[in-house]
Amino acid sequence: MVDAPASKAGAEQAWGFESPLRHHLLTIRFRDIVLMLPRLDGAIFLRRRPMQKPASLSDWFGSNTPASYGDARAEYTALRRGAVVFDMSTLGKLRITGGDRIAYLQGQLSQDIMPLQEAGCGAYSCLLKPTGQMLSDMVLFSTGDAIFVLTPPQTRRTVQERLEHFVIMEDVEIEDITESHVLLHVAGPLSASRLEPFGVAGALPLWYSKEITWQGHLLHVVRTDRCGEQGYDLLAPAESASELRQALLDAGVQPAGIEAFNARRVEAGIPLFGVDMDESTIPLEAGLGERAISFTKGCYTGQEVIHRIFSRGHTNRSLVGLRLLAEVLPPYGALISAGDRRDAGWVTSAVRSPSLDAVIALGYLRNEYTASGTGVVVQHESSPIEAQVVPLPFVEPSRA
C-alpha cells in the first residue's frame, strides 16, 4: 500500500498519474477506479455536463491573429479555393531527443510511435490518464535524430511535465522550444503549390514532414490538415518570422483569421481540445479512434479502459453533427433535448457554414439519439431550436 501523499502537489503526482513502474497502476483514486469499471450494459460512466469554461479560440491563435482581416467570408473563400495562412505560434512545441525517445513515447502515448524511427514520419496521438481520459492531443513528427511534439497552447506544460515525470534511467531529453519558434499553418487546395518556392515538391501524406533550409533558416513542414483542408504547419525559428510571412504573401498565400478557420473546422467535424474535448473526454467518444489510437500496440497509459470500450462496451455519448433549423447560434454548453430526455447532450461548437448557408454545430449526444436524421431540440434563452443529427463531415475538403 502506498502512503498518503503529504501535500496537494504530492497528491496530484501520486493519484493523477500511474506509478513509476510505468504500467502498474498502484495509486489511483477510488473515483478513478469507479470510472474504469464497466456498467451493466457495457458502457463507461461519463460526465453529464460540459466543462464550465471552455478555452477561447483566441487562446489557440494569440494576439497575432484577429477574428478576420476585414472580410471573413473572402478569407473563407480563399481557404476553400486557394491558400491562406494562419498564425498559430501559440501552439506548444517540444523537442524530444535521446536514444530511448521512441520506446519511451511508445509506452506513454495512444498511437503507435515506432514508425517515427524513420525521418519524415509523423502521427496524431493522445496522452491519456490511467482512466482513459485525455490530458491532451498532439501532432508528432520525426527528423531522425529528434521527435517534435505540437500541442494545444493550454496543455503544453501538462504534456511536458507528464512526459518528464516517468523518465528515470531512460536516455530522453525534453526541451520546450515554444518561445524560440513560430508556427504558421498554410491551408487550402493550392497550399502545396504555394510552398514549392520554399522547397516543398508536391503534397505530403498526412502527418508526414519535410526538413528544408530556406534563406539560411531550418524549416520543418508538416502535413496536418488542421481545419479540414489540405494544410501544412511551418515550424520556423522566431527570428525568421517576418521574412517568412512576407515570402508567403509574395507567393500568393492570403492571411486569414479565426472566423474562417473555425467555420471550416466545424464543417469538417474536427474537434478542438479545450473546446470540444477536455480532460474528462475519452478519445473514442470524440471520434478519435481511427486517427489517434493504435489497437495493436503494446501497453500505454490508459490502454486498459480504451480496449475495454473498444472490445466489450461503448461510451454513453458520442460527438455528432447538428444542423439547426434556425439562424441563431447556440452558446457553448447549450443543452440538447431528445425523446423524453431534457439532458440528452450539449453543444460544444456552433458556426454559420458559408458552404451550406446554415447554422451547424458539434455536440455530444447519448448514443440512442446519434442516428443520422434524428430530430433533437437545442435549448436557447430566446426559444428552443429544432435541429437534426447529420453525418460528419458536414462539408468535404476542396480538390486542387
Distance from C-alpha of 284 to C-alpha of 133, rounded to nearest angstrom: 10
Residues 116 and 223 in one domain: yes
Are 369 and 338 in contact by the 8 Å Cβ rule? The answer is: yes
Concatenate the DSSP letters of all residues of 377-391 into one string: EE--SSS-EEEEEEP
Neighbours of 258 (CB within 10 A): 19
Q: Which one of 235, 267, 299 terminates a domain? A: 267
Residues 163 and 226 in one domain: yes
pLDDT of residue 37: 39
pLDDT digit string, tens, across residues 288-305:
999 999 999 989 999 999
pLDDT of residue 61: 83
Are 316 and 273 in contact by the 8 Å Cβ rule? The answer is: no
Residue 87 within any structural domain of the chain: yes
CATH of the domain at 67: 3.30.1360.120
Concatenate the DSSP letters of all residues of 242-270 into one string: HHHHHHHHHTTPEE--HHHHHHHHHHHT-
pLDDT reading at 40 higher than 50: no
Output the CA torsion 248→251→252→253 (10° steps): -20
Relative orientation angle of helices 258-268 and 72-81, to the nearest 10 degrees: 50
Q: Which one of 206, 234, 267 terminates a domain? A: 267
pLDDT digit string, tens, across residues 94-133:
999 999 999 999 999 999 999 999 999 999 999 999 999 9
Count of domains for the chain: 2
Total-model pTM: 0.88
Q: Which one of 252, 267, 282 terminates a domain? A: 267
Q: Starting at the edge strand that comes first in sequence, how are the strands of the sheet with 173-176 ordered?
A: 122-128, 134-142, 147-151, 92-97, 173-176
Residue 274 within any structural domain of the chain: no
Domain span holding position 345: 316-394
Distance from C-alpha of 262 to C-alpha of 233, rounded to nearest angstrom: 17
Distance from C-alpha of 133 to C-alpha of 280, rounded to nearest angstrom: 5
Residues 95 and 233 in one domain: yes
